[in-house]
Amino acid sequence: MTTLNLTSQQTTVKLISQQTTVKLTNQQTKTPSFSVKQLAARLAPTIIEGSIPFAVYMLVKATFNTSDVVALSIGTLVPVALSLFRFARNRRVDIMSLIIMLGLVASIVAALIGGSPQLLLIRESAFGALFGLAFLASLFLHRPLFFYLMRHFRAGNDAGKIAAFDTQWNQPRFRKGCRVVTVVMGLGCLGEFALRITFVYTLSVPMVLALSTVVFPAIYLTMGLWTLWYMRHMQR
Protein backbone atom coordinates (compact mmCIF):
# COMPACT_ATOMS: atom_id res chain seq x y z
CA MET A 1 0.00 0.00 0.00
CA THR A 2 1.31 3.42 -1.00
CA THR A 3 1.58 5.90 1.87
CA LEU A 4 1.59 9.68 1.68
CA ASN A 5 3.93 10.74 4.48
CA LEU A 6 6.45 13.57 4.09
CA THR A 7 9.56 12.23 2.37
CA SER A 8 13.19 13.00 3.19
CA GLN A 9 13.26 15.18 0.06
CA GLN A 10 10.47 17.40 1.38
CA THR A 11 11.95 17.52 4.87
CA THR A 12 15.37 18.50 3.51
CA VAL A 13 13.89 21.30 1.44
CA LYS A 14 12.01 22.62 4.48
CA LEU A 15 15.09 22.55 6.71
CA ILE A 16 17.17 24.38 4.11
CA SER A 17 14.50 27.01 3.53
CA GLN A 18 13.94 27.58 7.25
CA GLN A 19 17.63 27.95 8.13
CA THR A 20 18.94 29.80 5.08
CA THR A 21 19.53 33.51 5.65
CA VAL A 22 17.81 35.62 3.05
CA LYS A 23 20.40 38.37 2.71
CA LEU A 24 23.02 37.38 0.12
CA THR A 25 24.31 40.85 -0.63
CA ASN A 26 27.42 42.69 0.46
CA GLN A 27 25.37 44.66 2.95
CA GLN A 28 26.07 44.06 6.63
CA THR A 29 22.39 44.17 7.64
CA LYS A 30 21.38 41.12 9.65
CA THR A 31 18.21 39.26 8.80
CA PRO A 32 15.93 38.65 11.79
CA SER A 33 15.92 35.03 12.86
CA PHE A 34 12.82 32.91 13.30
CA SER A 35 11.26 32.47 16.69
CA VAL A 36 9.81 29.10 17.68
CA LYS A 37 6.29 30.52 17.39
CA GLN A 38 6.96 31.85 13.88
CA LEU A 39 8.42 28.54 12.78
CA ALA A 40 5.47 26.61 14.21
CA ALA A 41 3.03 29.01 12.53
CA ARG A 42 4.68 28.39 9.15
CA LEU A 43 5.00 24.62 9.48
CA ALA A 44 1.60 23.84 11.01
CA PRO A 45 -0.49 24.56 7.87
CA THR A 46 1.94 22.56 5.74
CA ILE A 47 1.84 19.55 8.07
CA ILE A 48 -1.95 19.68 8.25
CA GLU A 49 -2.30 20.07 4.49
CA GLY A 50 0.07 17.18 3.91
CA SER A 51 -1.87 14.98 6.35
CA ILE A 52 -5.33 15.57 4.90
CA PRO A 53 -4.65 13.71 1.60
CA PHE A 54 -3.31 10.72 3.55
CA ALA A 55 -6.41 10.73 5.77
CA VAL A 56 -8.63 10.90 2.69
CA TYR A 57 -6.67 8.07 1.09
CA MET A 58 -7.09 5.83 4.15
CA LEU A 59 -10.79 6.70 4.46
CA VAL A 60 -11.53 5.96 0.82
CA LYS A 61 -9.58 2.69 0.92
CA ALA A 62 -11.34 1.53 4.10
CA THR A 63 -14.82 2.63 3.07
CA PHE A 64 -15.00 1.79 -0.63
CA ASN A 65 -12.15 -0.75 -1.00
CA THR A 66 -10.88 1.05 -4.10
CA SER A 67 -7.53 0.70 -5.81
CA ASP A 68 -4.49 2.74 -4.74
CA VAL A 69 -4.77 4.87 -7.87
CA VAL A 70 -8.38 5.86 -7.22
CA ALA A 71 -7.76 6.61 -3.53
CA LEU A 72 -4.64 8.65 -4.29
CA SER A 73 -6.45 10.56 -7.04
CA ILE A 74 -9.25 11.52 -4.65
CA GLY A 75 -6.68 12.57 -2.05
CA THR A 76 -5.04 14.82 -4.65
CA LEU A 77 -8.23 16.87 -4.87
CA VAL A 78 -7.54 18.42 -1.45
CA PRO A 79 -4.31 20.31 -2.27
CA VAL A 80 -5.66 21.10 -5.73
CA ALA A 81 -8.74 22.76 -4.23
CA LEU A 82 -6.63 24.65 -1.68
CA SER A 83 -4.21 25.84 -4.37
CA LEU A 84 -7.04 27.08 -6.58
CA PHE A 85 -8.62 28.89 -3.64
CA ARG A 86 -5.34 30.60 -2.67
CA PHE A 87 -4.58 31.53 -6.25
CA ALA A 88 -8.05 33.07 -6.68
CA ARG A 89 -7.60 35.01 -3.44
CA ASN A 90 -3.95 36.08 -3.70
CA ARG A 91 -3.19 35.68 -7.42
CA ARG A 92 -0.08 33.77 -6.39
CA VAL A 93 0.86 30.08 -6.62
CA ASP A 94 1.36 28.46 -3.19
CA ILE A 95 4.68 26.62 -3.36
CA MET A 96 4.03 24.09 -0.59
CA SER A 97 0.71 23.05 -2.12
CA LEU A 98 2.60 22.54 -5.37
CA ILE A 99 5.17 20.33 -3.62
CA ILE A 100 2.46 18.23 -1.96
CA MET A 101 0.71 17.81 -5.32
CA LEU A 102 3.98 16.73 -6.94
CA GLY A 103 4.35 14.08 -4.25
CA LEU A 104 0.81 12.85 -4.82
CA VAL A 105 1.29 12.74 -8.58
CA ALA A 106 4.47 10.71 -8.08
CA SER A 107 2.57 8.32 -5.81
CA ILE A 108 -0.18 7.88 -8.39
CA VAL A 109 2.36 7.17 -11.14
CA ALA A 110 4.14 4.71 -8.85
CA ALA A 111 0.86 2.97 -8.05
CA LEU A 112 0.09 2.69 -11.78
CA ILE A 113 3.49 1.08 -12.37
CA GLY A 114 3.12 -1.48 -9.57
CA GLY A 115 4.41 -4.92 -10.52
CA SER A 116 7.76 -6.45 -9.64
CA PRO A 117 9.75 -5.94 -6.42
CA GLN A 118 12.29 -3.94 -8.43
CA LEU A 119 9.65 -1.45 -9.55
CA LEU A 120 8.24 -1.24 -6.05
CA LEU A 121 11.71 -0.31 -4.77
CA ILE A 122 12.29 2.23 -7.53
CA ARG A 123 9.02 4.00 -6.90
CA GLU A 124 10.32 5.09 -3.49
CA SER A 125 12.36 7.71 -5.36
CA ALA A 126 9.59 8.73 -7.74
CA PHE A 127 8.94 11.97 -5.85
CA GLY A 128 12.64 12.82 -5.77
CA ALA A 129 12.97 12.39 -9.52
CA LEU A 130 9.88 14.48 -10.19
CA PHE A 131 11.06 17.16 -7.78
CA GLY A 132 14.52 17.17 -9.38
CA LEU A 133 12.98 17.74 -12.80
CA ALA A 134 10.85 20.55 -11.36
CA PHE A 135 13.98 22.21 -9.93
CA LEU A 136 15.84 22.08 -13.25
CA ALA A 137 12.82 23.12 -15.31
CA SER A 138 12.33 26.17 -13.09
CA LEU A 139 15.71 27.51 -14.27
CA PHE A 140 13.96 28.52 -17.50
CA LEU A 141 11.51 30.68 -15.55
CA HIS A 142 12.12 34.22 -14.35
CA ARG A 143 12.90 32.94 -10.85
CA PRO A 144 13.97 29.39 -9.92
CA LEU A 145 12.09 27.09 -7.55
CA PHE A 146 14.50 27.59 -4.64
CA PHE A 147 13.66 31.30 -4.58
CA TYR A 148 9.99 30.53 -3.97
CA LEU A 149 10.79 27.95 -1.31
CA MET A 150 12.89 30.51 0.56
CA ARG A 151 10.20 33.15 0.20
CA HIS A 152 7.52 30.82 1.52
CA PHE A 153 9.36 30.15 4.76
CA ARG A 154 10.81 33.62 5.21
CA ALA A 155 7.77 35.71 4.28
CA GLY A 156 4.75 33.40 4.47
CA ASN A 157 1.63 35.15 3.14
CA ASP A 158 2.58 38.56 4.50
CA ALA A 159 2.34 40.93 1.52
CA GLY A 160 4.84 43.39 2.99
CA LYS A 161 7.46 40.72 3.71
CA ILE A 162 6.92 39.18 0.28
CA ALA A 163 7.50 42.54 -1.39
CA ALA A 164 10.65 43.11 0.69
CA PHE A 165 11.92 39.63 -0.13
CA ASP A 166 11.26 40.10 -3.86
CA THR A 167 13.48 43.19 -3.98
CA GLN A 168 16.48 41.00 -3.21
CA TRP A 169 16.16 39.49 -6.67
CA ASN A 170 17.74 42.69 -7.97
CA GLN A 171 21.01 41.68 -6.30
CA PRO A 172 23.29 39.63 -8.63
CA ARG A 173 24.74 37.57 -5.75
CA PHE A 174 21.27 36.62 -4.57
CA ARG A 175 20.18 35.57 -8.08
CA LYS A 176 23.33 33.52 -8.53
CA GLY A 177 22.88 31.81 -5.14
CA CYS A 178 19.28 30.81 -5.87
CA ARG A 179 20.16 29.44 -9.29
CA VAL A 180 23.22 27.49 -8.13
CA VAL A 181 21.29 25.85 -5.28
CA THR A 182 18.43 25.05 -7.67
CA VAL A 183 20.85 23.27 -10.03
CA VAL A 184 22.49 21.31 -7.20
CA MET A 185 19.17 20.25 -5.70
CA GLY A 186 17.80 19.23 -9.08
CA LEU A 187 20.86 17.18 -10.06
CA GLY A 188 21.07 15.72 -6.56
CA CYS A 189 17.48 14.45 -6.66
CA LEU A 190 17.96 12.94 -10.12
CA GLY A 191 21.30 11.45 -9.04
CA GLU A 192 19.62 9.78 -6.06
CA PHE A 193 17.01 8.32 -8.42
CA ALA A 194 19.69 7.00 -10.81
CA LEU A 195 21.65 5.48 -7.91
CA ARG A 196 18.55 3.72 -6.61
CA ILE A 197 17.89 2.22 -10.06
CA THR A 198 21.50 1.00 -10.15
CA PHE A 199 21.16 -0.59 -6.72
CA VAL A 200 17.81 -2.22 -7.54
CA TYR A 201 19.05 -3.95 -10.69
CA THR A 202 22.51 -4.95 -9.44
CA LEU A 203 21.90 -5.91 -5.79
CA SER A 204 19.53 -8.20 -3.93
CA VAL A 205 16.29 -6.83 -2.48
CA PRO A 206 17.47 -7.20 1.16
CA MET A 207 20.70 -5.36 0.32
CA VAL A 208 18.79 -2.53 -1.38
CA LEU A 209 16.49 -2.19 1.64
CA ALA A 210 19.47 -2.11 3.99
CA LEU A 211 21.34 0.51 1.94
CA SER A 212 18.18 2.61 1.51
CA THR A 213 18.03 3.34 5.22
CA VAL A 214 21.50 4.92 5.16
CA VAL A 215 22.63 5.95 1.68
CA PHE A 216 19.63 7.88 0.41
CA PRO A 217 18.92 9.91 3.57
CA ALA A 218 22.66 10.68 3.66
CA ILE A 219 22.44 12.09 0.13
CA TYR A 220 19.73 14.57 1.06
CA LEU A 221 21.42 15.44 4.32
CA THR A 222 24.62 16.19 2.42
CA MET A 223 22.76 18.40 -0.03
CA GLY A 224 21.15 20.23 2.86
CA LEU A 225 24.42 20.83 4.67
CA TRP A 226 26.13 21.93 1.45
CA THR A 227 23.33 24.38 0.73
CA LEU A 228 23.60 25.95 4.18
CA TRP A 229 27.39 26.24 3.77
CA TYR A 230 27.10 27.72 0.28
CA MET A 231 24.49 30.30 1.19
CA ARG A 232 26.55 31.42 4.19
CA HIS A 233 29.64 31.58 1.98
CA MET A 234 27.76 33.80 -0.47
CA GLN A 235 27.11 36.32 2.32
CA ARG A 236 30.79 37.01 2.88
Name the residue range of residue 68's domain.
Answer: 8-235
Higher pLDDT, 96 or 28: 96
Nearest by Cα to 47 from 96, 118, 110, 119: 96
Is 130 domain-assigned? yes
The whole-number pLDDT of residue 26 equals 43
Q: What is the DSSP string of 38-61?
A: HHHHHHHHHHHHHHHHHHHHHHHH
Indicate if the pLDDT at residue 165 is higher than 60: yes
Is 116 domain-assigned? yes
For the whole model, what pTM was predicted?
A: 0.63
Share of the chain above pLDDT 70, in %: 61
C-alpha 36/C-alpha 77 separation (Å) is 31
Is 1 domain-assigned? no
Is 3 domain-assigned? no
Nearest by Cα to 145 from 91, 90, 189, 115: 189
Domain count, the chain: 1
Is 181 domain-assigned? yes
3 by DSSP, 3-state: which?
coil
Nearest by Cα to 2 from 70, 95, 52, 63: 70
Share of the chain above pLDDT 90, in %: 20
The whole-number pLDDT of residue 218 equals 86
Is 180 domain-assigned? yes
Indicate if the pLDDT at residue 236 is higher than 90: no
C-alpha 230/C-alpha 223 separation (Å) is 10
Is 183 domain-assigned? yes
The whole-number pLDDT of residue 31 equals 43
Mean pLDDT of the chain: 75
User: Confidence class of residue 27 from pLDDT cuts 50, 70 and 90?
Assistant: very low
Is 35 domain-assigned? yes
